[in-house]
Amino acid sequence: MKTLDYNTIDLSKEPPVKEPERQYYFIAKAKKYVMEKSKEAGRPLTFCVVTFGCQMNARDSEKLTGILEQIGYREETQEELADFVIYNTCTVRENANQRVYGRLGQLNRAKKQNPHMLIGLCGCMMQETEVVEKLKKSYRFVDLIFGTHNIYKFAELITTRMESQRMVIDIWKDTDKIVEDLPSERKYSFKSGVNIMFGCNNFCSYCIVPYVRGRERSRSPKDIIREIEHLVADGVVEIMLLGQNVNSYGKNLDVPMSFAELLQNIERIDGLERIRFMTSHPKDLSDDLIEVMKHSKKICRHLHLPVQSGSTNVLNKMNRRYTKEHYLNLVDKIRAAVPDISLTTDIIVGFPGETDDDFEETMDVVKKVRFDSAFTFIYSKRTGTPAAVIKDQVPQDVVKERFNRLLKEVQQISSEECSVYTDTVQEVLVEGINDHDSTLMTGRMSNNMLVHFPGDDRLIGKIIQVELKQCKGFYYLGERIKE
Ligand code: 5AD
Ligand code: SF4
């Protein structure tokens, strides 16, 4: 990341056309407006970034925070008190949208008390035309609306809003652009997400992501490696490579490179200790990748491999392009190569046309694979996706009954699987002070499980040895082994 003195930018000139220089110009300009606003208020201005949804959004929120800090918003505070509130939204399921509307209503009340407050909305939900129409009609107090493709323009859009005093809306249908070298503010000093690709080309029939995140675009390996090297120089020891489908990384590059090759290059970065990645699609997970994972000293012992359904019939209707047998074989191959791997998954219950027999196939996969943990979702109809127009929707009471049965099974297996490491010593990355007991620290094991143990905050960001004394279902209590 370039460190730049925005004060040296000449604002009397026209903004540059080229990125990221254009955004540096608007950061400088927005900074001027924020300073004026702050003088008017007689205090430093505050902000609040609210993140809904996935890891991808969490990473985007760090970019939003980076820009807000660069333009002069000082400290992050509670939503009702902040001078700039931005919701980075998710739309993967309908209830996520409802939550945003509910919270916006409350925020409007807070805005009436604070004349300096600006409200921004961005992310996946904003890519839906009906959402923006509704906001334009019934939520006039919102100041700024943009989508997933132009988040890099945040400073420019804030400037436009400050100059126009009107609701600013900028939504792009799609993009092939990736803008590098913009500021971002990490939530953790020792770990970071790193985008390796954007968008998705899979078009699973239930999923809205390809419509709101656009077509697949990979960042160049050079840019990715450079970013990680900078992060490591800045104290990062663990990275999470992010993409909707990391296994199809590199296909659209000028010089194609596979995800397995990218991982090998990243492994060579000195000082980097741990590599995670998310999300893998079972149809694309290659033997090469399994081989790389087997020999890697840095790739964590955790794989999130969404199965979605255990029924080949449903998988077919979901356009997942693998069968139940393919998935089970894949799990066997991975476990043979990396025996201590922790496997987690996503499952959807109640996809249109799901029969009792189909559901039993899902239960069968759960019992056979014995996932370390699973996120279970009730199918949510997303307008615009092919599944939304399938006539055969499953009645709610049937879905509920299946969902509860699945959840019980998943939790039972998960608590049994999670306890197998009791009395072993594990390497953990210390992430912070325990939320409930400040004498305890919380660390993350390679397999993504958490362990709480007595210690102090000087350990944060260090990788240490902890003996796991007691399993508490989904986490452990332990003790540090002194070296
Ligand atoms: N309904 C329910 N769950 C969904 N997911 C994606 N789309 C839907 C939908 N329409 C789930 C999938 C995916 C996870 C991120 O969200 O399981 O893996
Ligand atoms: Fe993430 Fe998907 Fe939600 Fe977008 S819709 S924020 S990609 S989970």
Mean pLDDT confidence for 91-112: 94
pLDDT of residue 283: 97
Cα separation, 37 vs 361, in Å, equals: 60
- Sheet-wide strand order for 75-76: 75-76, 46-51, 84-89, 118-123, 144-146, 168-170
Which of 135-149, 173-187, 306-320, 333-347 has the lowest average pLDDT?
A: 173-187
Per-residue pLDDT of 416-472, as tens digits, reads 999 999 999 999 999 999 999 999 999 999 999 999 999 999 999 999 999 999 999
pLDDT at 180 over 90: no
| Candidate of 49, 204, 209, 215 to mutate for ligand 2, largest count of ligand atoms within 8 Å of Cβ | 209
Distance 403 CA to ligand 2 centre (A): 22
Kindly state if the Cβ of 242 falls inside 6 Å of ligand 2: no
Comparing 7-11, 264-268, 293-297, the range with the smallest average pLDDT is 7-11
Q: Where are the alpha helices (DSSP H) in 250-395?
A: 259-267, 287-295, 312-317, 324-337, 356-369
Q: Is the CB of 57 under 6 A from ligand 2?
A: yes
Provide the pLDDT for residue 3: 58
Does residue 2 have a pLDDT over 80? no
pLDDT at position 4 = 73
- What does pLDDT average to over the chain? 96
Alpha carbons within 13 angstroms on the beta-carbon side of residue 467 total 7
Tell me if 171 sits within 8 A of 126, measured CB to CB: yes
* Torsion angles phi and psi, residue 406, rounded to 5: -65, -45
Q: Kindly give the distance from the C-alpha atom of residue 54 to the centroid of ligand 1, in angstroms, as a whole number.
A: 11
Instruction: Indicate the pTM of the whole model.
Output: 0.94
Q: What is the pLDDT of residues 40-79, one digit of tens each?
A: 999 999 999 999 999 999 999 999 999 999 999 999 999 9
> Residues for the chain: how many in total?
483
If you measure from the C-alpha of residue 90 to the centroid of ligand 2, how many angstroms do you get, rounded to a whole number?
A: 5
Ligand 1 midpoint to CA 248 (Å): 19
Q: Whose CA is nearest to atom 7 of ligand 2?
A: 209
**Residue 173: exposed, middle, or buried by beta-carbon count in 10 A (0-12, 13-18, 19+)?**
exposed
> Would the CB of 161 count as within 6 Å of ligand 2?
no
Residue 92 Cβ inside 6 Å of ligand 2? The answer reads: yes
